[in-house]
Structure 1
């Protein structure tokens, strides 16, 4: 499967880019680095997972991607608390991370339900 055609990958790319743009002037380098790294991890692990050979490897990287999404969501909440992210933008990003996480979960379910390609049917 070509990961570049996956809507979840495309959406996570846009989110990651938005994070970089938003925080490019932030002088709190530690926070900026942590947020952008977790955001970058989401599409990167989708891409890495979907190019793996086995379903087990694919799912492993997708689980990491979903975990990075949860990490980012936590950082967004913190960013809102410390006024690095305004409430409206923060709520948009929180909603997007929830949607991306659901999409990753759906992809994991789809992979886990797909029979191996080398199985022979009884028919």
Structure 2
């Protein structure tokens, strides 16, 4: 594996980010500097942290950035829940995005577990 673009977790998180971006186009204008900005930044942070961690070429550093990505992934879901609570997105849309979130979360946790194993083996 040469690039973060080869990582399945990054690929899925990228698709999640794109789906969120498309959803943001339906938000009311008054949310531009509120939920739209927050959701755009935290969803971008997920893939950015995975990419940055991969570029560190050290398991411990990569783990740190993947944990940051997991935090941003959770933040994204929280903002989507908020959007649903405020009737900006439907429960159906929230559930659709939640399914993608759960897939990304599972893959990210798997990648984190892999990195922890590799880190432990390198200390051997």
The normalised TM-score by structure 2 is: 0.87
Q: Which structure exhibits the higher relative contact order, with contacts defined as CA atoms closer than 8 Å and separated by 6 or more residues?
A: 2
Q: Which runs of 4+ in 1 moved over 6 A?
A: none
Is the alpha carbon distance of 1:82 and 1:15 closer, same or farther for their aligned partners in structure 2, counting shifts above 3 Å? same
Give TM-score scaled by structure 1 length.
0.88
> What residue ranges of structure 2 are gaps of 5+ in the alignment?
none
Higher gyration radius (CA): 1
Paired residue total = 118
Over aligned residue pairs, what C-alpha RMSD do you find?
A: 1.6
* Gaps in structure 1 of 5+ consecutive residues: none
C-alpha distance after superposition, 1:88-111 (max 9, x if no partner): 111011121122112111111101
Which structure has greater helix proportion?
Answer: 2
Give the Cα–Cα distance (whole angstroms) in 2 for the partners of residues 104 and 22 of structure 1: 23
Q: Does 1:89 align with 2:93?
A: yes
